[in-house]
Amino acid sequence: MRPYSIIALFTLLCTCVSAQLMAQTANSEQDRSVTYYLPDLDYNEDIMTPEQFLGWQIGDWHISHDLQQAYMRYLAGASDRITLEQIGRTYEDRPLLNLIITSPENHKNMAELQRLHEYWNVRNSDVKENMLNEVPAVLYQGFSIHGNEPSGGNAAPMVAYYYAAAPWSALEATLDDNIIVFDPCYNPDGFNRFASWANTHKNKAMTSDGQDREYNEAYPRGRSNHYWFDLNRDWLPVQHPESRARIASFHKWKPNVLTDHHEMGKDATFFFMPGAPTRIHPMTPKVNQELTAKIGKFHAEALDEIGSLYYSGEGYDDFYYGKGSTYPDINGCVGILFEQASSRGHLQDTDNGLLTFPFTIRNQVATALSTFKAFGELRDELLRYQRAHWHKAYAGSNGYVVDFEGDFGRGREFMEMMQRHGVPMKENEVNGVATQVFIYETPFSKAAFEPILEFEDSLFYDVSTFSLPMAFNLKYTKSTTGLPKGGSWQPAGNAFPSPKAGRASYAYLLPWDDYYAAKALYRLQDAGVRVKVSDQPFTAPGGEQLSAGTLMIPVGNMQEMSDDELYALITELEEELLLDFIPTETGTPLDGLMFGSRSAYQTLRKPEIALLVEGGVSSLDAGETWHLLDQRFGIPVTKLPLDRVGRADLSRYNTIIMSDGYYGDLGERGTKALQEWMGPGNVLITSKRAGTWAAANGLASVKTRRMDNPDKGVKQRPYAKAYRDRSGRVLGGAIYQMEGDLTHPLMFGLKRSEIPVFRRGTLLFEPANNVYATPLRYSSKPLLSGYSPRGFEQAAAESAGVIVSGSRGGRTISFADNMNFRAFWYGTNRLFLNAIFFGDTIGSGTTD
């Protein structure tokens, strides 16, 4: 039964006509049968081609994720070479699929093959060197992690069809001994968003004019996932369900080669790795790049055959392990990036003539098949390289000691991240409570821990550093004496303090130390519970030493809910968030002001938040805020488009967040509305360039610090150096140290005044005139890790990290940096949350 066959027949006729209408390129053919994409072979007629299944040929339309998925499921059912695993779901509940492709014989023996592959990489196992021929190599092929780079995901059905329907003689040399894990779409939500856009705007009489709406997607565009994140930066942070499923699959299969099919600007040609030789992470072994180059020869050959222009060895880098083509390189695998010039929609004018969507797909199919060929021929070499990598990896008891400093929420998140990357660890328990974790040295943990300050090249496609303990602001030391035996990939995780659930007759206290204390605070406020915050340290009636920022929840007549209901809610929060509320029977602490003190305790208002979006607002930064509040803390946030601000009812909000970006689209009306909204109790939070906008419009007093022109006094530089000179001045991402005033509400919950901050770009702010209004500033020698352009560190020294302005009775809190970088900068999230919850409590006379 072929459900689509009638439609298929009908559209077969139609597509012949449209193929004729379709503009030509030197490389496109009028008749796009399967052989436009695939070698001319005797395909199994019992298996439907994508065209028979869809009713239209690949390249006619942008395939939706639903149809792509349906076809993959169909292939898995129709072919005994393919089984299907659903490895997870996206935020929008789309399934994430892996097709496991190998010989029918191998499928019957899968458990043993997986064991052989795994133990091949385990030292002192029963799988010895001389068993090389029995061990399967694994190829992981994946497509369109950037949803609006569609040629990869549209090539996937054609490639999968090839594996399912090509004569066995074409596949057996590779598939008899090896396994393919095939991931047709790395980013289903973004891919589907883009497919809808491109199809919705397709013309019948096609236009190649790049100004057509078809080629100009609406905010936030299809590149990202549901929360507007770039998933091709998340292989290291692993904060999203797509990456979590994929990294788990990666470590389950331990592939030998992993491919990542992308697109770039329309005027380019086709790129395959290796990238620029000077821009490789120093931890990546030389052999890795040699193997990449060997595989590259197969791509060149395949593209020669179809006459497509290509390049390699330049342009892209292999530095940041958070990218799909680089993450494998620290894990004994060879990661390969492909970049195809994008037709974005269906047809575009380019420097290289008309670029059709089918042509872009064809190059992706060709290189997916050349990967397959290279993988088959180089499998012995790839397996040997992988074995050597892993046998060396767990060399002993070297490693790091990481201290939680009382923040178990952050500690748990950190350990979970290490666990996802297969790093062995062990909790260090003191009196039954894990206060530290030992992290054992592996290539990955070493790359993630060691700061990096020297570089062969000053050009970076992305960030130049990604130190994880700095991201979490966790204190760590390198072990000099060796870590105790017993590191495991599975930490016990049960040595965190378990909730005591004691019942209070007077008040509950909640220290602000734990990352998730903010989640409890919002839940309490949302349930109508009145919560106060202490702005001073004190000793609780039971003797606990508590810091400023501790929450105090009175029991009794101040609350609308009964004592029983409050106790039930507190117990629920303790259990769910593993927080430790302290019950008290009296309002008199052992040391410090009494709980009824108006000078020490302020009632907190529940935040009602609007996040400005669209126009020139960075969708990445805004998405990070949305994700932080919505996903991680369960705080509702209204995403308010700039062009609506002027006519929106802003009185619904007491907190408005302006991410990095340009705000010209607010217009006069929107600007005026924000100015009028500002008033007592309201807090405006700005990030980076939004602070400059706020200052220019009377909502903040932020002054930009001018940097010296690096060309000052230089008469002439060689033209040929211009590009490098310019690129060397870009701050693509580095880590700097700031110092904070721990008595300031924005610092509540921090234990140390030093805090590592992630920075991109060179915009700096001068400290405020008011001596209390810059509670965080860059240290005098601030660079901790990464590439810092010449002169920037000196310029940044002692500049402002955050400025608090008083504006019309409200508060504007202007961060010089992004506090929520890529959802894994857990350390500075705290400051951002403090701005939301405590911003309005910042005293008058302490602002600029």
**Would you tell me which residues interact with Zn ion (CB under 5 A)?**
146, 149, 262
Query: What is each CA distance from 597 to 105, 512, 603, in whole angstroms?
Result: 77, 19, 11
Q: At its nearest, how many Å lie between Zn ion and the CB of residue 142?
A: 12
> Cβ closer to Zn ion: 146 or 421?
146
Cβ 620 to Zn ion shortest distance, Å:
14
CB of 360 to Zn ion, least distance (A): 13
Place of tokens 């110092």: 739
For the bound state, the minimum distance from the C-beta of residue 273 to Zn ion, rounded and expressed in Å, comes to 13
Spatial separation of the C-alpha atoms in residues 29 and 46, rounded to whole Å: 26
For the chain, the straight-line distance linking the first and the last C-alpha, in angstroms and rounded, comes to 74
For Zn ion, give the closer residue by CB, 262 or 606.
262
Name the DSSP letter for residue 504: P
Question: How is 264-276 classified by DSSP, letter by letter?
Answer: E-TT--EEES---
Residue whose pair of structure tokens reads 């990955």 in the numeric block: 444
Contact status, residue 555 vs residue 566, Cβ threshold 8 Å: yes
* Residue with smaller CB distance to Zn ion, 146 or 202: 146
Task: Note whether 517 and 511 are within 8 A (CB).
Answer: yes
What's the closest the beta carbon of residue 121 comes to Zn ion, in angstroms?
Answer: 30
Nearer to Zn ion, 323 or 777 (CB): 323
Closest by Cα among 463, 460, 466 to 315: 460
Contact 685, 839 (CB under 8 A): yes
Provide, rounded to whole angstroms, the least separation between the CB of residue 231 and Zn ion: 10
C-alpha 733 chain-centroid distance: 14
- Asked if omega into 641 is within 30° of 0 (cis), the reply is no
User: Which residues have a Cβ under 8 Å from the Cβ of 758 and sit 6 or more positions away?
Assistant: 471, 733, 734, 735, 817, 818, 821, 825, 828
Q: Residue 163 has which token pair?
A: 């594996």
The minimum distance between CB 151 and Zn ion, in angstroms, equals 11
Nearer to Zn ion, 149 or 514 (CB): 149
SS3 of 242, please? Answer: helix
Rank residues 142 and 358 by Cβ distance to Zn ion and give the closer one.
Answer: 142
User: Helix H segments across 541-698?
Assistant: 563-577, 619-627, 667-677, 689-696
Q: Which is nearer to Zn ion, 152 or 469 (CB)?
A: 152
Q: Which residue number, 154 or 467, has a Cβ lying nearer to Zn ion?
A: 154
Structure tokens of 833? 């949350």
Compute the least distance from the CB of residue 612 to Zn ion, in Å.
27
Q: Which is nearer to Zn ion, 117 or 261 (CB)?
A: 261
Q: How far is the CB of 143 from Zn ion (least distance, A)?
A: 11
322 or 607: whose CB is closer to Zn ion?
322
Distance between CA atoms of residues 560 and 555, nearest Å: 10
CB 50 within 8 A of CB 38: no
In terms of CB distance, is 263 or 660 closer to Zn ion?
263
3-state SS, residue 823: helix
Q: Which is nearer to Zn ion, 228 or 512 (CB)?
A: 228
- Residue among 57 and 618 whose Cβ is closer to Zn ion: 618
Q: How far is the CB of 324 from Zn ion (least distance, A)?
A: 9
What's the closest the beta carbon of residue 65 comes to Zn ion, in angstroms? 17
Smallest gap from Cβ 269 to Zn ion, in A, equals: 15
C-beta of 361 vs 628, nearer to Zn ion: 361
For residue 255, say if its preceding peptide bond is cis, omega within 30 degrees of 0.
no
φ, ψ (nearest 5 deg) of residue 567: -60, -40
- According to DSSP, residue 543 is labeled S
Three-class secondary structure assignment of 82-149: EEEEEEEECCCCCEEEEEEECCHHHHHCHHHHHHHHHHHCCCCCCCCHHHHHHCCCEEEEEECCCCCC
- Residue 493, classed as helix, strand or coil, is coil
State the minimum distance, in angstroms, from the CB of residue 764 to Zn ion.
Answer: 31
Q: In whole angstroms, give the CA distance from residue 309 to residue 652.
A: 56
Residue 630 is classified by DSSP as I
Write the DSSP symbol of residue 806: E
271 or 472: whose CB is closer to Zn ion? 271
Minimum CB distance to Zn ion, residue 146 (Å): 4
- Alpha carbons 550 and 556: distance in angstroms, whole number: 19
CB of 86 to Zn ion, least distance (A): 25
Are β-strands 138-143 and 257-264 bridged in parallel, bridged antiparallel, or unpaired?
Answer: parallel
Q: How many helices (H) and strands (E) does the chain have?
A: 23, 29
Closest approach, Cβ 659 to Zn ion, in A, equals 22
262 versus 346: smaller Cβ distance to Zn ion:
262
Distances (CA, A) of 89 to 94, 97, 99, 226: 5, 9, 15, 12
* Tokens of residue 409, six digits: 């929420």
* Segment 561-567 long-range contacts (CB within 8 Å, at least 24 positions apart): 561/527, 561/528, 561/529, 563/505, 566/508, 566/529, 567/503, 567/504
**Closest to Zn ion by CB, 117 or 262:** 262
Closest to Zn ion by CB, 195 or 206:
195
Q: What is the distance between the alpha carbons of residues 136 and 139, in angstroms, rounded to a whole number?
A: 10
Q: How far is the CB of 302 from Zn ion (least distance, A)?
A: 21
Q: Is 294 exposed, middle or buried (0-12, 13-18, 19+ CB in 10 A)?
A: middle
We find the least distance from the C-beta atom of residue 229 to Zn ion, in angstroms, to be: 13
Looking only at the bridges linking them, the beta strands covering 138-143 and 179-183 are: parallel
The residue nearest Zn ion at its CB is 262
